[in-house]
């Protein structure tokens, strides 16, 4: 006679999964179960799960994953993953996480301590599968890990720590509550001039600091500018940054090069489209001008078209005048944007500090806004606020899987042998790129430094298109296999059509 098969209740399965996750030690779980009066044989673990959530022992995301039998990927060294925040470049994932060490990593991060014994961070993680399959992706992420630690400024996202644990590469950053400039314009329409001037004077201030550290951002755009709850600007993402004077890797797919364009085509400077390694601080100012254009009109300077067509327009055409699309913008303010978007770098402002000074008089009309201080007394309050935002998106947790780490040990283990900040090493990084041979600039491009800004000719593009949440341009790397002969052929056809149009 066959022996009876042992059955395990759903509650016991949940308890085993929770212990495997490393989110809490056995002693704590035993104490909580006893306090609740839990019967491990219960067929329904949901009441106990809700008890753990309500008493801030688990987040909604953690609970959903544990109930689904997923125990890995909720703990990385001292960090406990609380909720997904978004997807970063290079296939990385960004989570809200809690640093269980309970000690701020630098003196200027004390204000981020919401409660004794923990600190919330945005944890950017490179999936191990990505790192193994694509060497260039790992090189890019390692590069971002190094460069992001060079800057420290109120209008740049802070990086607390970058390292590797059990072969998992991560960056622990300041968690910024708010939304991107792109989202703000997509949902609220163009901003008034004083608001734009105030935000971008802060962006210019942050850029000035990065440039002083020898870093060129190379991917400044509305989706990389966060607006805090109090209305201040924070620049995100140094994944494409280039350090002045650095030794470039031979692999063009890492930082770009002649014939391999990196950046976002709606906001890329003409010289960066020609060769992404031949740029300086003024290239970021062109992108800043394009982003201001978007904030004032609700569309990028050259909407629509393919990546190659956008490159040609940045090189050869002038966008529809801002005042045609938004008559409330004074001609004098529109002239500042035109100055920033000059085709040749020598025609743009000398540096970001000059831009800040140009914008300050216009920003003076904006409401004075205090710097942000978290209104949440505890980590739990902030987490509940984030979870409430996702309450209408029932599938958000299911659609955002945690990274499956090689190991998922609990915080009680000694991690000193495997956790640490990486030493600075030069490798290389990009975020968007593809093999592209950009068209040659027009012969009239060089100009004397003191030459006046040439007025924009009649618009060559259709009238403004209504902005929508989907309007954010796809990076060129969304089609990384674009054959070089198709790109060159496309440019030739466009040039032929332009010649015929002028006959």
Question: CA-CA distance, 495 to 499, in Å (whole number)?
Answer: 6
Q: According to the model, what pLDDT value does residue 4 have?
A: 58
- 492 vs 46, residue with greater confidence: 46
Q: Give, for 172, the enclosing helix (H) or strand (E).
A: strand 168-173
Q: Is the pLDDT of residue 486 over 60?
A: no
The answer to whether the beta carbons of residues 177 and 229 sit under 8 Å apart is yes
Render pLDDT for 125-179 as a digit per residue (tens, 0 to 9): 998 887 777 788 888 888 889 898 899 999 999 899 999 998 899 999 988 888 8
Instruction: Name the band, by pLDDT with cuts 50, 70 and 90, for residue 120.
Output: confident
- Give all strands (DSSP E) within 308-452, no chain letters: 433-435
Render pLDDT for 3-47 as a digit per residue (tens, 0 to 9): 555 688 999 999 999 999 999 999 999 999 999 999 999 999 999
Q: Which residues contact 33 (CB under 8 A, 6 or more apart)?
A: 15, 40, 48
Q: According to the model, what pLDDT value does residue 472 have?
A: 35
Q: According to the model, what pLDDT value does residue 391 have?
A: 57
Domain ranges of the chain: 10-67, 179-370+432-502
Q: Which of 68-77, 205-214, 402-411 has the lowest mean pLDDT?
A: 402-411
Q: Which residues contact 283 (CB under 8 A, 6 or more apart)?
A: 216, 218, 269, 271, 272, 345
Q: Where are the alpha helices (DSSP H) in 156-265?
A: 181-188, 193-212, 252-255
Q: According to the model, what pLDDT value does residue 358 have?
A: 97
- Is 219 catalytic? The answer is yes
Smallest CA-to-CA distance from 312 within 304, 256, 133, 326 is with: 304
Q: According to the model, what pLDDT value does residue 258 have?
A: 86
Question: CA-CA distance, 126 to 106, in Å (whole number)?
Answer: 24
Q: Describe the crossing of helices 281-297 and 193-212 by its angle, rounded to 10 degrees.
A: 160
Look over the chain and give the mean of its residue pLDDT values, rounded to a whole number: 77
Pick the catalytic residue: 99, 219, 237, 379?
219
The stretch 179-190 carries a mean pLDDT of 94
Q: Is the pLDDT of residue 470 over 80?
A: no
Q: Is 41 exposed, middle or buried (0-12, 13-18, 19+ CB in 10 A)?
A: exposed
Instruction: Name the band, by pLDDT with cuts 50, 70 and 90, for residue 369.
Output: confident
Question: CA-CA distance, 62 to 340, in Å (whole number)?
Answer: 47
- Give the CATH fold of the 179-370+432-502 domain: Transferase(Phosphotransferase); domain 1 (1.10.510)
For residues 151-173, b (16+ Cβ closer than 10 Å) or e, as one string?
bebebbbbbbbbbbbeebbbbbb
How is residue 178 annotated by DSSP?
A: S
DSSP states along 322-344:
HHHH-TTS-HHHHHHHHHHT-SS
For residues 454-481, b (16+ Cβ closer than 10 Å) or e, as one string?
eebeeeebeebeebeeebbbebbbeeee
Smallest CA-to-CA distance from 465 within 294, 341, 222, 291 is with: 294
Cα maximum dimension of the chain: 98
Q: According to the model, what pLDDT value does residue 170 have?
A: 93
- pLDDT-above-70 percentage for the chain: 70
Region for 86 from its dihedrals, namely left if φ exceeds 0, alpha if ψ lies in -120 to 50, beta otherwise = left
Region for 459 from its dihedrals, namely left if φ exceeds 0, alpha if ψ lies in -120 to 50, beta otherwise = beta
Q: Is 104 exposed, middle or buried (0-12, 13-18, 19+ CB in 10 A)?
A: middle
């Amino acid at each position: 006679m066959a022996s009876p098969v042992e059955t395990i209740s759903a509650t016991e399965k949940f308890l085993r999964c929770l212990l495997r996750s490393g989110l809490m030690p056995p002693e704590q779980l035993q104490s909580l179960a006893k306090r609740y009066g839990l019967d491990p044989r219960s067929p329904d673990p949901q009441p106990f799960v809700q008890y753990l959530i309500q008493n801030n022992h688990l987040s909604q995301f953690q609970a959903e994953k544990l109930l689904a039998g997923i125990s890995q990927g909720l703990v990385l060294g001292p960090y406990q993953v609380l909720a997904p925040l978004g997807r970063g470049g290079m296939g990385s994932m960004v989570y809200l996480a809690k640093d269980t060490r309970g000690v701020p990593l630098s003196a200027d991060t004390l204000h981020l301590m919401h409660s004794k014994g923990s600190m919330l961070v945005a944890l950017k993680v490179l999936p191990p599968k990505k790192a193994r399959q694509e060497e260039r992706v790992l090189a890019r992420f390692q590069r971002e890990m190094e460069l992001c630690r060079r800057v420290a400024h109120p209008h740049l996202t802070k990086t607390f720590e970058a390292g590797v644990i059990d072969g998992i590469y991560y960056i622990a950053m300041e968690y910024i509550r708010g939304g991107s400039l792109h989202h703000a314009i997509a949902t609220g329409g163009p901003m008034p001039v004083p608001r734009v001037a105030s935000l971008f004077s802060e962006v210019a201030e942050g850029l000035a600091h990065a440039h002083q550290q020898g870093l060129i951002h190379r991917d400044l755009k509305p989706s990389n500018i966060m607006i805090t709850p109090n209305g201040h600007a924070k620049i995100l993402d140094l994944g494409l940054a280039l350090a002045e004077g650095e030794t470039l890797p031979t692999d063009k797919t890492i930082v770009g090069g002649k014939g391999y364009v990196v950046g976002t085509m709606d906001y890329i400077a003409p010289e960066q489209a020609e060769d992404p390694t031949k740029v300086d601080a003024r290239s970021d100012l062109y992108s800043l001008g394009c982003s201001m254009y978007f904030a004032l009109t609700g569309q990028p300077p050259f909407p629509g078209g393919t990546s190659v067509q956008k490159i040609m327009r940045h090189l050869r055409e002038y966008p529809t005048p801002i005042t045609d699309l938004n008559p409330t913008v004074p001609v004098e303010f529109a002239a500042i944007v035109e100055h920033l978007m000059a085709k040749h770098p020598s025609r743009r402002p000398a540096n970001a500090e000059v831009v800040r000074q140009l914008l300050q008089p216009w920003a003076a009309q904006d409401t004075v806004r205090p710097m942000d201080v978290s209104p949440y007394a505890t980590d739990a309050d902030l987490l509940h606020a984030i979870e409430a935002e996702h309450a209408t998106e029932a599938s958000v947790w299911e659609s955002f899987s945690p990274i499956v780490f090689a190991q998922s040990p609990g915080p009680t283990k000694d991690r000193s042998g495997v956790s640490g900040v990486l030493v600075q090493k030069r490798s290389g990084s990009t975020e968007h790129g593809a093999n592209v041979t950009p068209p040659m600039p027009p012969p009239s491009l060089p100009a004397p430094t003191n030459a006046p800004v040439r007025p924009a000719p009649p618009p060559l593009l259709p009238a403004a298109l209504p902005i929508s949440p989907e309007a954010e341009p796809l990076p060129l790397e969304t089609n990384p296999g674009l054959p070089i002969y198709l790109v060159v052929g496309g440019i030739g056809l466009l040039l032929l059509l332009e010649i015929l149009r002028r006959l």
